[in-house]
Amino acid sequence: MSIASSVVEICAEQAGGARVTRVTLEIGQLSAVMPEAIRFCFDVCARDTLVEGAALEIIETPGQARCLACGATLALEEPFGQCECGSVDLELISGQQLKIRQMEVM
C-alpha cells in the first residue's frame, strides 16, 4: 500500500498541477511486489488526486545475479538460486528495483 501511495505522490508532484493520464512503472521480479496489488492500491490511492483515472502500465523486469564463485551472470525468477558451477553464492545485480519509468500528463 505504501509503495502505491508514494508512486501516486511522486507523480502528482511531478505533474505540476496537470492531470496525469498514464504512468509506466518498472517492477523488478525479485522485488516481492505483486503487480496486481500495486494496480489495486494505485487506483485507491489516486482517488481525489491529479493521478485519478490514470492508466497504470507495469513492466516486469527480470532478475539477474552474478555468481561470486565463477563470475557468470544468470537469470533469476526468485531472489535465490544456484549457478551452473554449483555455487549458491550469488550477488543480485538487478530485479529488485521499482521505479517510475514514464509518466504522461494532459
Q: Which one of 21-29, 31-39, 40-48, 62-70 is the stretch in contact with Zn ion (CB under 5 A)?
A: 62-70
Under the binding rule (CB under 5 A), the answer on residue 90 touching Zn ion is: no
Grid cell, residue 86, equals 554449483
What are the phi and psi torsion angles at 57 (to 5°)? -110, 130
Under the binding rule (CB under 5 A), the answer on residue 59 touching Zn ion is: no
Grid cell, residue 33, equals 511486489
- Shortest Å, Cβ 89 to Zn ion: 8
Cβ-contact 54, 21 below 8 angstroms: yes
Under the binding rule (CB under 5 A), the answer on residue 74 touching Zn ion is: no
Q: How many residues does the chain have?
A: 106
Q: Which one of 7-15, 19-27, 46-54, 84-92 is the stretch in contact with Zn ion (CB under 5 A)?
A: 84-92
